[in-house]
């Protein structure tokens, strides 16, 4: 009963933090609010994810999740700064490292036990020498949300290419009036002939998607550790539901106006202030 109460409280805190996430008008967004939003937002959601996944059992575990989550939040902020200054691949690498730290600590592992990178449809995690009783050297998870997003991106695009290690789509017709780009999860689409700033803006959204992925509790994934025997080379750990990303897409994106939606406010502010 006590565990159920704690988990219910954790869900309430998570929902409250999402609804309270900075949603200022573009003119009100500043560097301090951007940094604070990333640090506090990732810190709180990491703590809640750890609680929901059963790996916060005492005060020390709570401080661990809160601390590493906050540090990762600052890493996500720096990732966004990198992608808007033409260091896109470095920014994506840093974002994946930040997501890996959160994945690790919310699963009861050390912050650098596994290093992951998200590819279309799958996320691959490599066990480092710091991993204890690892099931495998390579751990693979699959995201149904990314599969749907990839299909949507193909359906609205006329061309696709690989740029800075990521799939980038190009469309000849806008999704709506005055829309020069859009992003479905990890897949950015830019309008033909649009400026470089549009691509940079959409890549900020890619980093935000990785950030939301890291915030999402994944109770259905198998654990990292084996009970006996030797570690295998490859292990399929299950499907990532990415519930927070879905909730954000279906609620905040609909409830808030375009100029107040936190993802757009942050992306515009970062591009304009580079």
Question: Residue written as tokens 């059992």?
Answer: 57
CA distance linking residue 189 with residue 169, whole number of Å? 4
8-12, 36-40, 73-77, 167-171: range with lowest mean pLDDT: 8-12
- DSSP assignment of the chain, as one string? -HHHHHHHHHHHHHHHHHHTS----GGG--HHHHHHHHHHHHHHHHHHHHHHTT---SHHHHHHHHHHHHHHHHHHHHHHHHHTTT-HHHHHHHHHHHHHHHHHHTTTS-TTSEEEEE-SSEEEEEE-TT-SSBSEEEEEEE-HHHHHHHHHHHHH-SEEEEETTEEEEEESS-SSTT--EEEETTEEEEETT--HHHHHHHHHHHHHHHHHHHHS--TTSPPSB-SSSPPEEEEEEEE---HHHHHIIIIIHHHS-TTT-HHHHHHHHHHHT-
> Is residue 220 very low, low, confident or very high in pLDDT (cuts 50, 70, 90)?
confident
> Is residue 258 very low, low, confident or very high in pLDDT (cuts 50, 70, 90)?
low
pLDDT at 32: 83
Strand partners, 234: 138
CA distance linking residue 67 with residue 73, whole number of Å? 10
191 pLDDT above the threshold of 90: yes
137 pLDDT above the threshold of 80: yes
18-22, 156-160, 161-165, 196-200: range with lowest mean pLDDT: 18-22
pLDDT tens track for 38-79:
999 999 999 999 999 999 999 999 999 999 999 999 999 999
158 pLDDT above the threshold of 80: yes
Angle value at C-alpha 11, between 123 and 53, nearest 5 degrees: 45
CA atoms within 13 A on the CB side of 15: 8
Q: Are 183 and 192 in contact (CB under 8 A)?
A: no
Question: Residue written as tokens 């940094």?
Answer: 35
CA distance linking residue 70 with residue 120, whole number of Å? 27
Give me the residue spans of the domains in the chain.
Answer: 2-272
Span 177-189, mean pLDDT?
93
20-34, 119-133, 145-159, 213-227: range with lowest mean pLDDT: 20-34
Q: Which residues of 231-264 are buried (b: 16+ CB within 10 A; e: fewer)?
A: eeeebebeebbbbbbbbbbeebeeeeeeebbbbb
Q: Are 21 and 39 in contact (CB under 8 A)?
A: no
77-86, 210-219, 250-259: range with lowest mean pLDDT: 250-259
What does the longest C-alpha to C-alpha distance in the chain come to? 59
């Amino acid at each position: 009963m006590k565990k159920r109460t704690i988990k219910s409280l954790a869900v309430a805190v998570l929902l409250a933090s999402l609804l309270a996430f900075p949603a200022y008008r573009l003119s009100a967004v500043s560097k301090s609010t951007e940094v604070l939003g990333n640090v506090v937002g990732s810190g709180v959601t990491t703590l809640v994810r750890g609680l929901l996944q059963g790996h916060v059992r005492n005060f020390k575990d709570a401080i661990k999740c809160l601390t590493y989550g906050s540090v990762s939040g600052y890493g996500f902020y720096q990732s966004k700064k990198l992608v808007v200054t033409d260091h896109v691949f470095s920014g994506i690498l840093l974002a994946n490292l930040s997501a890996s730290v959160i994945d690790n600590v919310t699963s009861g592992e050390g912050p650098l036990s596994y290093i992951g990178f998200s590819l279309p449809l799958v996320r691959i995690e490599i066990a480092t020498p710091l991993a204890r009783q690892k099931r495998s050297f390579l751990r693979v998870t699959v995201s149904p949300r990314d599969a749907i997003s990839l299909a949507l991106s193909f359906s609205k695009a006329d061309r696709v290419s690989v740029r800075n290690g990521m799939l980038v789509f190009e469309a000849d017709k806008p999704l709506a009036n005055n829309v020069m780009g859009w992003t479905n999860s990890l897949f950015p689409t830019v309008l033909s002939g649009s400026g470089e700033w549009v691509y940079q803006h959409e890549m900020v959204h890619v980093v935000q998607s990785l950030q939301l992925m890291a915030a999402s509790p994944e109770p259905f994934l198998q654990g990292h550790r084996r009970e006996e025997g030797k570690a295998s080379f490859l292990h399929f750990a299950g499907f990532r539901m990415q519930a927070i990303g879905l909730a954000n897409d279906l609620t905040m994106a609909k409830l808030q106006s375009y100029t107040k939606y936190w993802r757009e406010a942050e992306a515009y502010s970062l591009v304009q202030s580079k």
